[in-house]
Chain A
Amino acid sequence: MDYLDEFFNYISSVSPAKLVRVFWFFFFFEFVRFFLVDFTTVLLWKLTAVFRKQRVREGRNLFWAEKPLISIIVPGKNEGKHIFKLANSLKEQTYQNFELIVIDDGSDDETRTICNSLKKNGLIDIFLSNDVRGGKASAANLGLRYSSGKYIIHMDADCSYDRDAVENIIVPFYYDEKLGAVGGDVQVRNYRESLCASLQAIEYTDTISIGRISQSQLGIYRIISGAFGAFKKDALDSVGGWDIGPGLDGDITVKVRKMGYEIHFEPTAICQTNVPVTFKALIKQRLRWDKSLIRFRLRKHRDVFYPNESFRISNFVSFVENITYSLVLNFKWYFYLIDMVLNFTSRLIFIIPMNFILYTINNYFKFIVFSLFRQRKNVKAEYFMLYMPLMALYFGYFLRLVRTYAYLQELIFRRSYEDSWNPEKSSRQAKSLKL
């Protein structure tokens, strides 16, 4: 009781200026970027929807009038068990003029048999198989090489798609010809499976979906998820398809942007995926994602920062924003921590809970407000209310620590080249060529 009294005394006695001084990290960075900016852009997006409506409708009509052939590429290793479900569910799509191309990247299970019989039954149009694994990028490239559609959709075998997902992800190309690629909205299907999955479901709704609407509006959207992304075939051909991963989703997006195309996030093109259900698996996945930030933004595509002929201000801003908020702020947070420890040592017992409360309030508010913007939810927002307080820990500590570890590993040791995600032969080449 004494502590609570003291806590409230402290909070109420602090002047606004002092409050900002103590919680500067929250107010200047996180609140501004992840609340004010996102909120404003999403609100603007919502308010201007009326004006877009006509354009979208015309685009949709144009799309249906042309009925372009779409190539759906599904690369993967040992995905046979998922392919049957995927192929069957694609028959439910509102848009049917597509060819399904499945690439088996050196599977050592029943995949080949399953896919060959699916092909025989007409559920798969093209099935190609590599006897030796070449990595996800080369598998996708093989699909691209033998595709004949005007648009290419990259899908993951273990995801499922809304009935109108294919239609909705292609329509934007028909009202905005500058687009080179469109990303779909990825939602968490197995959110009930574990606490870990539930937390990720909130993260996907919150930062990933909403964040991408806002990024797309600001023109700095940079990662088209491999689970659901559509590309103009011309655009993919001109960048030579996918490069060696990990992180090839972000990489291909940057490459398409560099060619001068715009990238769009389409919140009505919905895909559901399974996320890792254990923290261990989640850590492994995030280490891979986070390492690719260093590898691709800071190394491979650092020319985005150079004022050469392909320089584009939006690419520059996108990178700066990404690096600032992911890399710089990640380390700056430790400055904040040190700042607090050194300068407010005696107040730490109040500051830490207060930070927690600030973040949690922010999270609740944001989640509720943004929930109102979302047209289609796979779960009622209330389901997550109970988990919301944990998000401060999830974002503030868990993901931050994983990220720090990944950055250090990659900055110092270039660990991504050892990731077993790629076959060793490709990694060795990539490393020696500094890709």
Chain B
Amino acid sequence: MNTSTENIKVVDHKINYNNLVFYVIDTTNSILNIDHTMGYDALILDASDPEYARIVLKKIRSHYNPEFYLKPVFLLNFKETKDPLLNNMHDGLMTSYDQVVTMSETAKRIFLKTTQLDNQLIPSFEGQTVKKVLNYMYTRDIRTLKPIVDLNSSIGYTYPELSINFTNTEEPQVLEILEWADREGLIWPDFYERVYLCNNCNSGALSYREVCPHCNSSNSKSEDLVHHFPCAYIGPISDFQNNIDNSLNCPKCNKTLRHIGIDYDKPSVIHHCNNCDQNYQDAFIKSKCLSCEDDIDVKYLVPRTVNIYKLTRKGRSAATSGFLSSSQEVDDIFGTINMQTLKIMLHYELEKVKESPAQKTSIALVHLENVFELYNKIGKKGERKLLEELVAVVRENIKSSDVIAFESSSTLYLMLTNTASENAEQKLKNLSALTENLIKKNFNGFKANLLHKVKMLDTDKKAEVQLQELSKDFFA
């Protein structure tokens, strides 16, 4: 093994060292495409221009392919920055190419851990995203997801390992994914801070101010009210002020005010609105969203908890052994049953088919392939609406004895009774076309990719096994 530093040379962006090939990215590379980094073992990213480095790093780490997002990235010429992404998503800092010596050790550790990862595909957007983060954390020995103050994040905080997959304005979704992972038992929350978000656009960039309750203007002047005891005069302090000196003189009795609490006091404060000329005491506190410019009564802001999340035992092992996600969120959509019930119903259906072999029953899996792109845009509520509409369409085209069960927000199973697989295949083709049209119509021309797989129920196998096989055949 050659460990002397004399051999370290950059040739055509490449450094060969210790059987590893480091690829150097600097501003001479196009930032639009990172595909050319494919195949190299590790990357050295010149961070003298932090803006540039940031864009490249984000492209790498947010990539769906582990080949990219797990790749060791070292920052060269890194300067102190407030950017949580640059600060946290690298694998080491270098001041000279000589340091590839130590970096190669780091890279090898990462490779070793990468080989231990389980490559399970989790059929939901949340599941996929969380699995990706868990993979990254496992390979980097990270055990907690810690929120970091970030002015660029729309909620004011960012979780670099997770947030890197989203844009700044999608940060509220990060919170939802974390809550999902919490429900799945993968992470464990510890209160860190509470944030208030705009009820219209979920942004946390809010400007709070006292406004006039009559016209909502914040253009106001506040004054103390002064009560002169001897003559019972009461008015704003400007009534008592003069242009000559600092003394306060009563406009009613002309006496000079001496001593607060003895001859006068200030029983309250009054605000004068310069916009509508009204006087008021109980100002409203309103919050202006700096993102959508909505002016919101503070009581309608959406409070969200920002937690520090620690990996649970399940979370720690999930990277290497995968995890089964439940489908709680989609369980209760009208017209569907949950996976557990589906298994039971399949079991009885099998008994029935055994008794009268002329009866044929099919099972089918439907997967909305590119739907996460859409979910990203339409949020949780939109996702729910889409699934409800989808179920309504499917229900209209199947028999009442047929059942639908969601496995996740992108995968559902159908049990089609009295239907041979050829008929089932045709039925599903029609359904896919209908659904794709529906999504296109309702979601701004979005072109959804619906894939499906049909299988005839086999009386020799257990219901559960048959579902697993269907899934395996499909995702393989």
Residues on A with beta carbons closer than 8 Å to the beta carbon of B270 = 128
What's the least CB distance linking B248 to chain A, in Å? 16
Cβ–Cβ contact A240 & B252, under 8 A: yes
Q: Is the CB of B263 within 8 A of A116?
A: no
Closest chain B CB from A217 CB (angstroms)? 32
B279: Cβ under 8 A from any A Cβ: yes
Check A130–B230 contact: CB distance below 8 A: no
B241 within 8 A of A: no
| Cβ-defined contact, A137 with B232, below 8 A | yes
Alpha-carbon distance A145/B234, docked complex (angstroms): 8
Given A138-B227, A243-B232, the answer on whether A132 and B261 have CB atoms closer than 8 Å is no
Whether A142 and B234, one on each chain, are in contact in the complex, defined by CB atoms closer than 8 angstroms, is yes
Whether A130 contacts B267 by the Cβ 8 Å rule is: yes
Interface size on B, residues (CB 8 A): 24
Instruction: Check B268–A135 contact: CB distance below 8 A.
Output: no
> Bound state CA distance, A133 and B261, in angstroms?
12
Minimum CB distance partner of A125 in chain B: B278
B268 in contact with A126 (CB, 8 Å): no
Cβ-defined contact, A134 with B232, below 8 A: yes
CA distance in complex: A214, B261 (Å): 45
Do A146 and B279 touch (CB < 8 A)? Answer: yes
Residue of chain B at shortest CB distance from A243: B232
Kindly identify which residue among A131, A137, A426 contacts B268, using a CB–CB cutoff of 8 Å. Answer: A131
Any A CB within 8 A of the CB of B225: yes
Task: Decide if A142 touches B265 in the complex (CB within 8 Å).
Answer: no
Across the interface, name the chain B residue whose C-beta is closest to A140: B232
Interface residues of B in 259-291 (CB under 8 A from A): 261-263, 265, 267-268, 270, 279, 281-282
CB of A376 within 8 Å of the partner chain = no
What is the minimal beta-carbon distance from B15 to any residue of chain A, in angstroms?
71
- In the complex, what distance in Å separates the CA atom of A120 from the CA atom of B297? 15
B263 closest partner in A (C-beta): A429
CB proximity of A249 to chain B, nearest CB, Å: 14
Is B267 within 8 A of A433, CB to CB? no
Interface 1/0 per residue, A188-231 and B, CB below 8 Å: 00000000000000000000000000000000000000000000
Q: How far is the CA of A141 from the CA of B227 in the complex (A)?
A: 10
B267 touches A426 (CB 8 A): no
What's the nearest-Cβ distance from chain A to residue B339, in Å? 51
Interface residues of A in 113-132 (CB under 8 A from B): 116, 120, 126-132
* Residues A59-110 near B (CB distance < 8 A): 106
Let me know if B235 is at the binding interface, CB within 8 A: yes
Check A184 for interface membership: any CB of B closer than 8 A. Answer: no
Q: Does A327 contact B (CB under 8 A)?
A: no
Q: Assuming A138-B227, A146-B279, is B232 touching A131 (CB within 8 A)?
A: no
Tell me whether A241 and B229 are in contact in the complex, defined as CB-CB below 8 angstroms, given that A126-B279, A130-B268, A145-B235 are known contacts: no
Q: State whether A116 touches B282 (Cβ < 8 A).
A: yes
| Smallest CB separation, A277 vs chain B (Å) | 30
Contact B229 A425 (CB under 8 A): yes
Question: Do the beta carbons of B267 and A132 come within 8 Å of each other?
Answer: yes
**B281-A141 in contact (CB<8A):** no
A126 partner residues in chain B, CB cutoff 8 A? 279
Asked if B302 CB lies within 8 Å of chain A CBs, one says no
A243–chain B nearest beta-carbon distance, Å: 6
Chain B: which residue is nearest A429 at the CB level?
B229
Q: How far is the CB of A418 from chain B (nearest CB, A)?
A: 16
Q: Let me know if A354 is at the binding interface, CB within 8 A.
A: no
Q: A116-B282, A126-B279, A241-B252 are in contact. Are A435 and B267 (CB under 8 A)?
A: no
Residue on A nearest B272 in the bound complex, by CB? A146
Contact B268–A129 (Cβ < 8 Å): yes
Closest residue to A143 on the B side, CB-wise? B234
Whether the pair B267, A134 counts as a contact (CB closer than 8 A) is yes
| In-complex Cβ contact of B233 among A106, A133, A141, A430 (8 A) | A141
> In the complex, A355→B236 CA distance in Å?
58
Q: Mark A43-72, 1 if CB is under 8 A from B, else 0.
A: 000000000000000000000000000000
Answer yes or no: A37 CB below 8 A from chain B CBs.
no
Nearest chain B residue, comparing its CB with the CB of A112: B282
A283 adjacent to chain B (CB < 8 Å): no
Contact of B281 among A129, A134, A428 (CB under 8 A): A129
Residues of A within 8 A of B213 (CB): 120
Q: Quick check: A132 and B230 within 8 Å, CB to CB?
A: no
Q: Scan B221-260; emit 1 where CB is below 8 A from any A CB, else 0.
A: 0000101011111111001000000000000110000000
A244 within 8 Å of B (CB atoms):
yes
> A121 to chain B: closest CB distance in Å?
12
> B232: nearest residue on chain A (CB-CB)?
A137
Contact across chains for A135 and B232 when beta carbons are under 8 A apart: yes
Q: A106-B267, A132-B267 are in contact. Are A243 and B231 (CB under 8 A)?
A: yes
Q: Chain B residues near A433: list those with CB within 8 A.
A: 230
26 CB contacts below 8 A, A to B, read A106-B267, A120-B213, A128-B270, A128-B279, A128-B281, A129-B282, A130-B225, A131-B267, A132-B265, A134-B227, A134-B232, A134-B265, A137-B232, A138-B232, A142-B225, A146-B279, A240-B253, A241-B252, A425-B261, A425-B262, A425-B265, A428-B229, A429-B229, A429-B263, A433-B230, A435-B230
Query: Nearest 9 A-B pairs (CB), nearest first?
Result: A130-B267, A137-B232, A240-B252, A429-B229, A138-B232, A142-B234, A145-B235, A138-B234, A429-B230
- Beyond the given A128-B279, A132-B265, A141-B233, please list 14 additional residue pairs across the A-B interface where CB-CB is below 8 A: A127-B281, A130-B234, A131-B267, A146-B279, A241-B233, A244-B229, A244-B230, A244-B232, A426-B229, A428-B229, A429-B229, A429-B262, A430-B229, A433-B230
